[in-house]
Amino acid sequence: MTRVHNFSAGPATMPVEVLQELSDELVEHGTSGQSVIEMSHRSPEYEAIHTETLDLLRSLWAIPDGFEILLLQGGATLQFAMVPMNLAPEGTKAGYINSGVWAAKALEDAHRVADAYQAWGNSGEGLARMPQASEVGVEPGTAYLHVTSNETIGGVRMVDFDGFDVPLVGDMSSDMLGRPINWDRFDLVYGGAQKNLGPSGLTLVVARSDVLDRADQKVPNYLRYSFHSKANSLANTPPTFSVWAVNKVLKWIGSKGGVQAMEQRAIERSNMVYELIDSSNGFYVNPVEPAYRSHMNIVLQPSDPSLTNELITEADDAGLINLKGHRSVGGVRVSIYNGMPNDGVEAVVEFLSSFAQKRG
């Protein structure tokens, strides 16, 4: 089999070593006589995987003792509602940095269940960017300020989380375990596993222990963080396959030098693509202010947009798939998450450069 280079924004490329291991071990886990995906989630074998996954997450991402890690389902999308239902009870407000498509969706759901407001908005004029803390209008009574650390569709990244005097909640779907973060700033971070961590089906929530029990009584059990935290994320059947696969990806991240190494690698690899864009004499353009360019999702467009479809078709034929930008913005998007091998990055840079030479 020839593996393609898959630049999908999620579900996304996983390390082939991990896929191979999953395949080798799928039919029988150890000497248990059964597959991980058949066994009871109450069995000692599964519990060992579950606990080890939590331990790996804590050590790799340097999650401090005062935080709990929850392994949930429903994707980042369910967190758009769970976060305000749990963290912004009646009498408080929730502020949102509206930095792009994902932030807007988070704010839309927050409006349904809490007293939410936009604390800063991307005007849509000029190059896309994130705000400075001083530009964000935090209202009195705000329980948390929601940030999207990496806008997966717009290709815009928050550089740091400093300068805010309210606790932050971060949607880190597309850069969790791709960068170290300063946990002091956060009450909670969340994201779906299917970008940087493995297959879909698992949602990671890391929350400060003392915010877990803030939801009022009318919030149903499954939607309460405290319900899951009291049961060590085993209140109901967890997504056992995804937890097992993420466990293996975490070990792989550790073997490559951990989160710091992932970040360094992401900087170098995204720079290869940005350098190509910037040295293309205007053949390619990127719509983001350089300081805020994503390390994970690089958006670009031939300045002659009629070339976009051709580019994507030629790339497909060359085994470079899923380079089409999100349907809401068009253009080209190169998603380079932790699991993408260096070969893939080199191949896409070479392809884009030769396409520009041929058509430029």
Ligand X SMILES: *Cc1c(COP(=O)(O)O)cnc(C)c1O
Set 93, 109, 115, 195: catalytic member: 195
- Residue with tokens 């969340």, as numbered in its chain: 190
Select the residue interacting with ligand X from 6, 13, 53, 173 (CB under 6 A): 173
Strand-pair partners of 145 = 95, 168
5, 6, 7, 10: residue in contact with ligand X (rule CB under 6 A): 10
The radius of gyration computed from the CA coordinates of the chain, to the nearest angstrom, equals: 21
Question: Using the rule CB under 6 A, which residue among 192, 201, 331, 339 binds ligand X?
Answer: 192
- Among residues 109, 115, 171, 175, which one is catalytic? 171
Task: State yes or no: residue 337 binds ligand X (CB under 6 A).
Answer: no
Number of CB atoms found within 10 A of residue 193's CB: 27
Site for ligand X in 96-125 (CB under 6 A): 102
Sequence-separated (6 or more) residues with CB below 8 Å from residue 177: 57, 60, 61, 196, 197, 250, 253, 259, 262, 338
Does residue number 46 form part of the binding site for ligand X (CB under 6 A)?
A: no
Asked whether the beta carbons of 129 and 288 are under 8 A apart, the reply is yes
Q: Considering the complex, state which of residue 202 and residue 307 has its C-beta at the smaller distance from ligand X.
A: 202
- The angle formed by the CA atoms of residues 353, 359 and 360, to the nearest 5 degrees, is 75
Strands 168-171 and 150-151: unpaired
Burial of 234 (C-beta count, 10 Å sphere; 0-12/13-18/19+): middle
Minimal CB distance residue for ligand X? 75
Residue 77 CB, nearest distance to ligand X (Å)?
Answer: 3
Q: Does 152 bind ligand X (CB under 6 A)?
A: yes
Q: Which is nearer to ligand X, 136 or 202 (CB)?
A: 202
Q: Is 165 a catalytic residue?
A: no
Residue 244 interacting with ligand X (CB under 6 A): no
322 touching ligand X, by CB under 6 A? no
SS3 191: strand
Q: Rounded to an integer, what distance in angstroms lies between the CA atom of residue 5 and that of residue 8? A: 9
Site mask for ligand X (CB under 6 A), range 60-99, x = bound: ---------------xxx----------------------
User: Is there binding between residue 198 and ligand X (CB under 6 A)?
Assistant: no
Q: Which of 61, 93, 102, 115 is catalytic?
A: 102
Cβ-contact 224, 216 below 8 angstroms = no
Site of interaction with ligand X (CB under 6 A): 10, 75-77, 102, 148, 152, 171, 173-174, 192
The catalytic site residues sit at 102, 171, 195
